[in-house]
Structure 1
């Protein structure tokens, strides 16, 4: 008889596993290196495939594909399949000088990248765009690829910018609508047929519509600040949330931002897309030095993370955090509730030591908040976990971290924190959720260690952590059929089409079995001999299921 479990049973398992592994970090697995590319952004599609983008010089190899740069640095986009454990395709774009993709978004079978270029012209397959300024300034670009599964092609590309150094921070997509956030230094910059004037440095949010084989700008909304930067962007329905920092008294969307501090100050703002225009709804600024580097939204909860150089308050003192050393940067994590017309600060957490901590990316699923970044100094503390720098001589180099916080509603706390790295400076750049795994991408200067896996030399990497609360999340679109369940000596798994190997993991995410089905094989037998009784997780591609071992 085949036994399956209800959603209620899944939720109870999720709660039990959350309690069982609280504070216990999972082990690194599926560590892959792919040369000295600089990865800046990651995203996933509905099937759990992972997309990477960034820049590279000379040559870089993604599986069976080797890319060669034409200029000083070129753009790359690559697709990784967790089901097969390999790269499916990789593409390059570029010109005679320097280009870099800084953000990536996926919507259906379309992959969008955004970044900067200072070449006189840049080619994306057969599509070429020209710099609007001159050879020595940077413009922005947005480009679209159509993913056919095992290959991809560029469809269109568009530029924006002026005659100075303009930069892109973020790109998000929903259906055929795209939004980008830029830091405009040019006194005047064009976004399609729209011209935006700026005094000093102003953050600009723009909306584009993808018409299939072409694209057009709909609106471009400046914040109206004079020394204001945007570094993070998140989308929820028609609402956009942006975060960054500002210096000195300024305004954002008509809202005053007083600042009596010499240091830069963090902010979060909400902008609503009204179709043909965008309107700012509210702004919340910190009281003290720092910057918002990452944002994520889930329902009415807005999560932000960044760095703080001194004690600061968020939301009129309702959240107050203190830096361990005011001359360095600590990491902060906070939650807001968006009531529609105004935000409310709910909770905040800091992490750090006597040196620097920086947050790069933030992702959320349910009550779990995941973040990645870098730290230097001999030690850095996240809740009850203290990380020890690989460089124990002076702690001047950077290691990378991944941390998980649990949102309990009115409070938030660290669940676990994991590190990796080598004796030289290393960086974490992107974080993405795929099925039951949390994927991290970054770079190593002179190699580094991921638990039992060691990479050598200067290289970029993709590595995974199996958080059991991710693996046990019910996937109504692709449940994994397991029988018998409970089982004693062997279990049979009905494998979804093209799902790849079947992985058996324990409650800490440690891989115990890996069985690869034969071509056309629908049922896979997984041996259980030698395993103690308990709850385990089975995964095949993006589908997961729980197993009770008797």
Structure 2
């Protein structure tokens, strides 16, 4: 590339390259690859936000991403890395790993602001995503995880699993507003939160499309002290929403699992507001609170 050659000292290594599009022709601006003597790794997901490039995939053994080194917990682990595009050169900013003792893959990647979402499949009986550990219900399960990009570093904020007794996978990930949308395959039955889907053809795979409502569950008034959270959660009939202080009134919006607006109410800033849930079908919703330039979104379960 660009008159040069990439080489590995063992296994198969991934690369990330930037091409300059000149219309009728193109040229390579830079190419970056991790280093390892004995490993193999693959990039499956790419996302770009401004001058930041994010990649995800899987690796084995020990891999160096610039000055940072990852070692697998088992066979294959998931990685998510951030690169800085400096125009004529790229550099690794941070990298994070997740997984367990078996094969764990992360092909789905999406970015919105400081939120970095990764989706994939974990074959390990348990897989760790920061401080969160997921337990598989079968041969292979689906995961979706969110990282918070703090600039020079990142941490896992949460991870969710889905699936059943068979082989369940996630291949693609996109965002609809603040909601991750995941696509993949399953066989037999698969559980997505409180919803269960069934494949009538027991020994074949079927496709699925799933939408996750964002946010962290609040279960009491005390845990709702952060701006824009509601309680109780799950709620029945009415939920109390803590609206952040602002110089302008707030707007409360409730969205269903596919992002459609169900209800919207004006609310005074800096107050606890009763949000009417009467007549809503039980399920998972997203509650969005916007006051001035501040916006908070929380998952709300209606019983």
Change (3 A) 1:302 1:267: same
Alignment correspondent of 1:389 = 136
Are the equivalent residues in 2 in contact too, given 1:321–1:350 (CA < 8 A)?
Answer: yes
Q: Distance in 2 between matches of 1:435 and 1:349?
A: 25
1:500 and 1:319 map into 2 onto residues whose CA distance is 42
Question: Does 2:179 match 1:433?
Answer: no
Say if 2:22 is the partner of 1:280: no
Per-residue CA deviation, residues 147-206 of structure 1 (Å, 9 max, x unaligned), is xxxxxxxxxxxxxxxxxxxxxxxxxxxxxxxxxxxxxxxxxxxxxxxxxxxxxxxxxxxx
In 2, are the aligned partners of 1:447 and 1:459 still within 8 Å (CA)? no
Does 2:82 match 1:335?
yes
Q: Distance in 2 between matches of 1:280 and 1:404?
A: 31
Whether the 8 Å contact between 1:331 and 1:358 is mirrored in structure 2 is yes
Alpha-carbon deviation of 1:254? 2.1
Distance 2:12 2:252 in 1: 55
Q: Is the 8 A contact 1:436 1:468 kept in 2?
A: no
Residue of structure 2 aligned with 1:266, choices 14, 19, 26 = 14
Give the deviation of 1:376 after TM superposition.
Answer: 0.3
Equivalent of 2:108, from 361, 364, 377?
A: 361
Instruction: Choose 1 or 2 for highest CA Rg.
Output: 1
Greater relative contact order, per chain length (Cα 8 Å cut-off, separation 6+): 1
SS at match of 1:258: coil
Residue of structure 2 equivalent to 1:467 = 214
Corresponding residue to 2:166 among 424, 427, 444: 424
CA shift, 1:460, in A, is 2.0
Deviations 1:102-161 (A, max 9, x none): xxxxxxxxxxxxxxxxxxxxxxxxxxxxxxxxxxxxxxxxxxxxxxxxxxxxxxxxxxxx
TM-score normalised according to structure 2 size = 0.70
Pairing partner for 1:297 from 30, 48, 68: 48
Deviations along 1:474-510, one digit per CA (max 9) or x if unpaired, are xxxxxxxxxxx96xxxx99899xxx955158xxxxxx
Contact 2:252 2:287 in 1 (8 A): no
State the 1:329 CA deviation.
1.0
Distance (whole Å) between structure 2 residues aligned to residue 265 and residue 371 of structure 1: 20
Q: Which runs of 5+ in 2 are unaligned?
A: 200-204, 217-227, 229-241, 244-249, 265-274, 279-285, 290-294, 298-303
Q: Given the superposition, is the C-alpha separation of residues 381 and 493 from structure 1 closer, same or farther in structure 2, using an over 3 Å criterion?
A: closer
Q: How does 1:440-479 map to 2 (within 5 A)?
A: 440-457=182-199, 458-468=205-215
Once the two structures are TM-superposed, the CA of residue 436 in structure 1 deviates from its matched residue by: 3.2
Number of residue equivalences:
236
- Contact 1:290-1:310 within 8 A present in 2 as well: no
1:283-329, Cα deviation, whole Å (9 max, x unpaired): 111112211111111111111111111101123xx12111123xx21
**Residues 43, 107 of structure 2: 8 Å contact kept:** no
For normalisation by structure 1, the TM-score amounts to 0.40
Contact 1:502 1:538 in 2 (8 A): no
SS at match of 1:257: coil
Q: Is the 8 A contact 2:253 2:261 kept in 1?
A: no
Deviation at 1:256, TM superposition (A): 2.1
Alignment of 1:47-86 (within 5 A): none
